[in-house]
Structure 1
Amino acid sequence: MARAQIRITDREWRRIVALPSVRAALRQRAQSIAGRARGIAATETPGASITTEEGTRPQGRTYARVASDDPEGEYGTQTRERRRVLGRAANTKE
């Protein structure tokens, strides 16, 4: 059975992604990931700070981002094991 296709214009897309409900869903997802990341970081990389930020990209797409101030713990170095706190928190099934 063929699936129906929906086509929207760029203008319509920009209006959709700017809706408060879309921003709220992005914020909620980022806060959920940040909470899991804080839990992982507390046991594996004490002292790491996990933050969220929101914004709009130049082309109009909104985003919510989770960041860590501990890149060595996230990516690893020659002397420090890679912990990948943010990646693991984002890949956890809700």
Structure 2
Amino acid sequence: MVKKSWKVIFRQRTIRKIRNIAIYIESRGYPENALRFANALYNFGESLGEYPEKYPICRNPIWAKRNLRCAVFRKDYLFIYKIFEKEVVIYNVVNARTMAL
């Protein structure tokens, strides 16, 4: 696998989701952890630009039909993204535990 330096674009929905995750963690009484976790989410998202093909096409038939890829972050979160020419667009971050399988 060849390392790349592709541009990573976080859609507004993704930014909102990460912010909401941080707000939830902060509301539980852990403001430092909220900031640290939000930064880890952003760093993971940015890393998708280095090895965009590392993660497979999503198993969800609707997402697979759109050629979306799913990257697991710390077992509980799923980054849903698509590869374009020299860029990666992150469409959503989903808590995998709340997904209906």
**TM beyond 0.5:** no
TM-score bin (small chain) = 0.3 to 0.5
Instruction: Please state which structure has a larger fraction of its residues in strand.
Output: 2
Superposition TM-score, scaled by structure 1 size: 0.34
Superposition TM-score, scaled by structure 2 size: 0.32
